Homo-oligomer: A and B are copies of this chain.
Amino acid sequence: MTEPQLRALLEKVRAGSLSADDALAELHHMPFEDLGFAKVDHHRALRHGMPEVVMGHGKTIGEVEAIAKSLLERSPNLLITRADETMAATVKALDSTAEYFPRSRTIRVWGDRQVIGKSKIAIVCAGTSDIPVAEEAQITAEVMGNEIDTIFDVGVAGIHRLLSNRARLNEARVIICCAGMEGALPSAVGGMVSVPVIAVPTSVGYGASFHGLAALLGMLNSCASNVTVVNIDNGFGAAYFATLINRI
């Protein structure tokens, strides 16, 4: 509820067209709907101008179904991250256009394919093992109305591969950069471009990668100033943030 809305409501009270009790009730009427186990907040997505997104992990099939049903009634687009095949089958039963991407474990209903972003988002990843996270970012960014350019398998140890993509990198308005192991890619990319770079550490690696901790720490300590970081494997979050920048 914004200030103008509040002012309008108070004016109605002042004008006598709304009782104090009704005003109170209205003030209490929160913009979310109660499903019992989860308060689906239709207004949050609207507020941000984003499609609805649900994290599948940790929810039962029944919960996913109920939430998906509730959301699909109001929105042509839906994204469910960290979902499994059973959830995918359930959503496909609700909407036959639903797609499932097993690599990134994502379910997508993409009814409204209008491009809203003002320019391109480049999604870069260091090795083939980072592709699941990059794919989550790609699917998210697409359903949020962005044009995407993917540049995969351009790690720092083969720096010429990365350099040969300098032009494509500089055409993007914002870059998402996924890397596991030492997580050095965002620093190199950040030094090559003048646009914002969102670094996504991936849990790829073994031993002293400690499930993405090495990449995370590396990215937080990046010597390139145009780099910020999201959680390990959080391709969704990076795409969300990049979308915000691409809509400015």
Tell whether, in the assembled complex, residue A230 and residue B223 are in contact, meaning their CB atoms are under 8 Å apart.
Answer: no
Contacts of A212 in B (CB 8 A): 207-208
Question: How many whole Å from A232's CB to the nearest CB in chain B?
Answer: 3
B24, B173, B190, B231: the one contacting A220 at CB < 8 Å is B231
Of B23, B55, B194, B248, which contacts A47 at CB under 8 A?
A: B194
Residues of B within 8 A of A236 (CB): 225
Q: A61 near B: Cβ within 8 Å?
A: no
Copies of this chain = 8
Within 8 A of B (CB), among A112-170: 126-129, 131, 152-161, 163-164, 167
How far apart are A192's CB and chain B's nearest CB, in angstroms? 6
The answer to whether A223 and B152 touch across the interface, beta carbons within 8 angstroms, is: no
CB pair B129 A226 closer than 8 Å: no
A-B contact pairs, 26 of them (CB 8 A): A2-B167, A3-B167, A6-B24, A10-B20, A28-B164, A30-B164, A39-B161, A58-B127, A156-B188, A156-B191, A157-B224, A159-B159, A180-B221, A181-B222, A183-B184, A195-B244, A201-B207, A207-B220, A209-B217, A215-B218, A217-B217, A217-B218, A226-B244, A227-B237, A228-B228, A245-B245
